[in-house]
Structure 1
Amino acid sequence: MSAGQHTLAMVGAGKMGEAILSGLLRAGWPPSRLIATARRPERRAQLAERYGVRVLSNAEAAAQADVLVIGVKPQDAATLLEDLGPRVPSGKLIISLCAGLPTSFFEKRLPESTPVVRVMSNTPALVDQAMSAISAGSHASAEHLTLTEELLRPLGETIQVPESQQDAVTALSGSGPAYFYYLVEAMTDAGILLGLPRQVAHDLIVQAALGAAVMLRESGEHPVTLREAVTSPGGTTISAIRELESHRVRAAVLDAIEAARDRARELAASVD
């Protein structure tokens, strides 16, 4: 059965869950094959009105959907599974979007041999440019991984990784867009300091970032090679690079991403 023939329930349709719902609808999924659940009544009404999908209780979603995507906050997952676990039919595919939580967390709270696939995606799913890293739990087969990739493909790119690498993926890719937004914010401030109007600075930086990303993807060149092509001897770029190095920006990036990885581990430990 292809992905589009399944019925999918987004259990806990937060920002990431809503991104997946909207992406599947843009890819041509009929609303009748999509279900959402949400805790707050106003959120349930919003999802039904905005997307035309069925908004049901967790128990109804578990009974009617072929695939359950868990999108609640990690700290809420245990409470959800206390209620949902006994209602999940054996063999139903569970896809977890919960940062930091291993597949074993779900497996021990669900019926025996339930297939669980762990996914770390990111917010560019909203514009169909996500990167989603996928890992199989102990009962998930190659077919489950293929189905998960098919479900996520409308949102951007997918990659399979061992689950042992998922905390690193969370730190690097899941949180990654925030690092770029932070850099764009700082560069915009620099443009204003140099006398440019805010909107002009913003437009220049966004297009530079977009162009650089496309060059990285399509040229196949190492980033060092592309950077050196812009860095003339005694020029403006090397002066800027010298300042970045003197302020240990490279080391700060390494430390920041390592801290994000450590926090992912702490989240998992706090709810295990």
Structure 2
Amino acid sequence: MRSVEIFNLAKFYPNPYGEPFKAVVDFNLDIQQGEFVGLIGHSGCGKSTVLTMLAGLNEISDGGIVVNGREIDGAGPDRAVVFQSPCLMPWLTAFGNVMLGVKNVYPHASSNQRKQIVESALSAVGLADSMKKYPREMSGGMQQRVGIARAIALKPKLLLLDEPFGRLDSLTRMELQDVMLDILHREKITTVLVSHDVDEVVFLCDRVVMMTNGPAATLGEVLNIDFERPRDRASLLQDPLYFRYLDHLVSFLTERAHLRTEPRHYDSKSLLTFTGKKIESADELSQAVA
């Protein structure tokens, strides 16, 4: 069942000196219910532009987006966004920051029902014992957990992640990736992630959408990630296919100047012969892309 349909999506920005600047053109993608899709590409390729149009925070110039059978025309509680910076209200506790959104989305719920929603969301991200802490009393990782809790508390149909772990150290990033996987596996929320991290998208996603260079960026290739869920990081790091996926993504980013007008789709079988070489360890991957 399709959860999101993106058709002929385009974003143009005014240019006082001539033709409008074309950031994204002719972007087409269907996303299934509960699917986790990653968007990658170099800076300026329009990843975040697509994400903000999905969120309804950026006006669509052409084409359209349908979420759960309804074409969107602005922001709505059916779509929640987690940004790189959690942007918490400093005068509110973790509980208060999450409650702020819950009050707006569930205005007719009782105070006890809203309290249960907030507590459940904060517990899901591992902050059951930190609900009364203020942002200044929390680490960057804890603040981002609050941002994630604020998003999932709204029970969105579509969760949009804009490099949510980009400012965190490696260990905290891995912890929050595991938290996110656990939540999404349990809640079955359709999710779109913008990331520069090829390891991250291979570990988290069901499909990775690779965007061509901007301006006039569009969908270049789609890579299916054939690992079953739930996923275990240690097991994946022992799987040669994991490094073949990484190799393919790095190869695309390295060769991004070759704009393809037709998207190409890859699964694990075709990928084995695409790169022309076997990558079976982290050391081999580093040598291959050095």
TM-score when scaled to structure 2? 0.35
By relative contact order (CA 8 Å, sep 6+), the higher-ranking structure is 2
More helix by share: 1
Whichever of the two has the greater Rg, that structure is 1
More strand by share: 2
